[in-house]
Structures are given as C-alpha cells and as structure tokens.
Amino acid sequence: MAKDPANYEQRIQTVCLLILTALGITGALYFFSSVLVPFVLAIFLTLCLIPAIDVQMKLLRIPRRTAILTTVAVGCALLILGAFLVTVAANQIAESKDDYGKQFQQLLVKTRGLLPPEWYTDPNDAKADLSEPLIRIPTNTIRKVLTDTASSIMGVISNGLLVVIFMIFMIAGKGTYKASPGSLWWEVESRIKRYVLTMIFTSGITGVLVGLVLTFLGVKFGWMFGFLAFLLNFIPNIGSIIATILPLPVALIDPELGMISKILVLVIPGGIQFLIGNLLQPKMMGESLDLHPIVVLLSLIFFGTIWGIIGMFLAVPITAVVKIFLQRFGYTRAIADLISGKTDMLTKSPAGK
C-alpha cells in the first residue's frame, strides 16, 4: 500500500516540531532554573500542607483563615528546622573535608598495592619527591566532591526564602473549590500527595534508623550520616547507594572500631535501605506513579543535569505529572504508555497485516 505523501509529510513536520519544542523547553528549564526550582518545590510542599488545612476545618471547626495561618506557620517552622539541620550537616562536611580526605588517603595507602602506580608515590624510591602526598588523585577528588556537595546544599538553603514566599501565596490563594474525582487536577494532586507523604514517612524512618545504628556502633558524625540518608532517600535507587557508602571511609579508618563493627556499618544500613526501599515503600505507594525504572533513571540524569541536586529530588514527581498529562490526550497516550513500560505498541503488528 502506497504512502499518502501529504500525510507522510505532516507526520515528519509533527515530529520535527516536537523535537524543537522539547529543545526549547529544556533550554527554558535551564536558563530560568533560579525561579522555576523554588516554584516547583513550593508546589510540592503546598500539596503536602493542604490536607492539614482541611483537617483543621473539618475536625477542629477552625475558620479557614486561621487554619491557613497555622498551617503556614507550621510549614515555615518545618522549613527552618530542615534548613538548620542541612546547614549544620553542610558545615560538618566543609569543616571535616580535610580529615575525611586524610582518612581516605590512609585507607588508600594501606591498599595501594591494588592501585595503578601513577596514583601514588613510593617512599622507598630514591628519586621520589616525598613532599608530594602518597595518594594524589583520589584525595583531591574526594575533597572536591565533598566541597561541591556542601556548596550545593548551601545553595538550596539560599533559595529557602523564595520557596516560603511562593508557598504562602499558593496556600492563601487556594479557594474552597475542590477538583472533582477523576478530573486531571484531582489525579495530579492525589498522586503527588501520596508520593510526597510516603517519601517523607519512609525517608524519616530510614534516616532515624541509620542514624541510631551508626551512633550505636560508634561511627563519627553518625547523626549527620543519618540525616543525609533521609535526604538522599528522595533520590530513587542512586540515593540509597550513596547514603550507604558515605560512612565507610570514616568507619574503616577509625582505630577504635573493630572489624565486626566496620562490617556492620555497611551491612545494617544497607539492609535498612533495602527493606524499606523494596518492601515498605512500594506497598505504601502502590501504583501511584506507574513509571518504568529506566524512565526514572533517565529523569534523574536529565533533571540532575539542568537543575543540579534539587532536580534529582524533583525528577520523579515531575515525570509522573508529565505522564498523567500525556495519558489524557489521544495523540500522546502512546508516549505515556512507554513511560509506564507498556510496550504493546512496539511489539504488536499493525492492524490489517
């Protein structure tokens, strides 16, 4: 059957327009990130606080304005508390980066026989410059990573005021109108609420348990690693791995810790991350997002590239919202199915063949 030239040309134009639109949206997200990141973050925080207003109005019979004021006050208090904890953790990282680097260097010195020769200086070599550190590249790398992490966290704190302003106006501007069940906004609101509240609950449990375990085992900065586990748990898959590995150099070098304790530093937090991430969290979240793991990974890479670490925190809920919008329109429903991992359209033969 011959192709319709007009229809074929229209399809090509449509694909080209979609590609140009995607590039334009990516550029806009990157160049306006200083405003968009606090705005999007405020949207998700507002979705978490709106149920508190409804509870106060229905159960406590509190007037709407009073409920809004109390909710905004509680939300600001929580943001200030979170900012304080993040600031203290960032300062701990910045202040201890040299000690952390030295500990990492000592670890690498003990295992330098396994490293490439160009990575270290042999002190037994008569021609060696002993003024140079025994381990050069890895130490500089770990210090740079820690410094960049602390800078990223402090950058998030600096945008906190803008997030609060957006959040106050969103909560105050929300009317008494509620979206009807089954509507587009109702689906977006219900799914994102469930995702955010589930992540806060499970991440809180993870952070508390990891912090208690590390403190009980005698690991330095145990509470800080527990708080970082809480934050990193919002980054699917990658965050839990990073949170498990972070305390290892400190534990391995600490002479006061026995070999069993050093093994438990990896095994117990890793087990906690695995159980909560693979058993508790999916059961609570259900099919609220319906995203394929590959799509989740790609979204983390994309938003992490244009928005940094905050983009990785927001990548999954943003992708879920985009998927809901695509699902609602016939022309884009096939893309939404691919995002969900439904590949029937790729495996089935065209009709009539």
| pLDDT per position as a tens digit, 5-45 | 667 777 788 778 878 888 898 888 888 888 888 888 888 87
Return the structure tokens found at 334: 């096939």
Q: Which of 80-84, 245-249, 322-326 has the lowest mean pLDDT?
A: 80-84
pLDDT of residue 1: 45
Confidence of residue 346 (pLDDT cuts 50, 70, 90): low
Report which of residues 115 and 352 the model is more confident about: 115
How far apart CA 275 and CA 281 sit, in angstroms, is: 9
> Residue 332, class by beta-carbon neighbours within 10 Å (0-12 exposed, 13-18 middle, 19+ buried)?
middle
Region 289-306: mean pLDDT is 84
Which H or E element spans position 170? helix 160-173
pLDDT of residue 132: 46
% of the chain exceeding 90 in pLDDT: 2
Q: Per-residue b/e over 221-245, b at no fewer than 16 CB within 10 Å?
A: bbbbbbbbbbbbbbbbeebbeebbe
Nearest by Cα to 285 from 242, 317, 261: 317
pLDDT of residue 135: 47
How far apart CA 57 and CA 220 sit, in angstroms, is: 46
Q: What angle do CA 157, 160, 166 make, to 5 degrees?
A: 160
CB-based contacts of 266-271 (< 8 A; 24+ apart in sequence): 268/213, 268/217, 269/210, 269/213, 269/214, 269/229, 269/243, 269/244, 270/244
pLDDT of residue 146: 54
Q: Residue 319, Cα to own-chain centre: how many angstroms?
A: 13
Average pLDDT, the chain: 75
Q: What are phi and psi of 135, to 5 degrees?
A: -120, 120
Q: What are phi and psi of 115, to 5 degrees?
A: -100, 160
Confidence of residue 212 (pLDDT cuts 50, 70, 90): very high
Confidence of residue 206 (pLDDT cuts 50, 70, 90): very high
Assess whether pLDDT exceeds 50 at residue 266: yes
Domain boundaries, the chain: 33-121+134-171, 194-286, 289-346
pLDDT of residue 174: 66
How far apart CA 315 and CA 236 sit, in angstroms, is: 9
pLDDT of residue 278: 79
Q: What DSSP state is assigned to residue 349? A: P
Q: Which of 144-153, 190-199, 282-291 has the lowest mean pLDDT?
A: 144-153
pTM recorded for the entire structure? 0.71
Region 158-186: mean pLDDT is 73
| Residue whose token pair is 């586990």 | 229
Beta pairing partners, 135: 120
Beta pairing partners, 120: 135
Nearest by Cα to 34 from 235, 311, 297, 234: 311
Q: Residue 259, Cα to own-chain centre: how many angstroms?
A: 32
Assess whether pLDDT exceeds 80 at residue 263: yes
Assess whether pLDDT exceeds 80 at residue 260: yes
Q: Are 226 and 214 in contact (CB under 8 A)?
A: yes
How many Cα atoms occupy the beta-carbon half-sphere of 129 within 13 Å?
Answer: 5
Q: Which of 130-139, 167-176, 289-298 has the lowest mean pLDDT?
A: 130-139
Assess whether pLDDT exceeds 90 at residue 209: yes
Report which of residues 33 and 146 the model is more confident about: 33
Report which of residues 127 and 72 the model is more confident about: 72
| Residue whose token pair is 């793991």 | 293
Confidence of residue 205 (pLDDT cuts 50, 70, 90): very high
> Residue 90, class by beta-carbon neighbours within 10 Å (0-12 exposed, 13-18 middle, 19+ buried)?
buried
Largest CA distance in the chain: 83
Report which of residues 208 and 110 the model is more confident about: 208
Assess whether pLDDT exceeds 80 at residue 93: no
How far apart CA 225 and CA 215 sit, in angstroms, is: 10
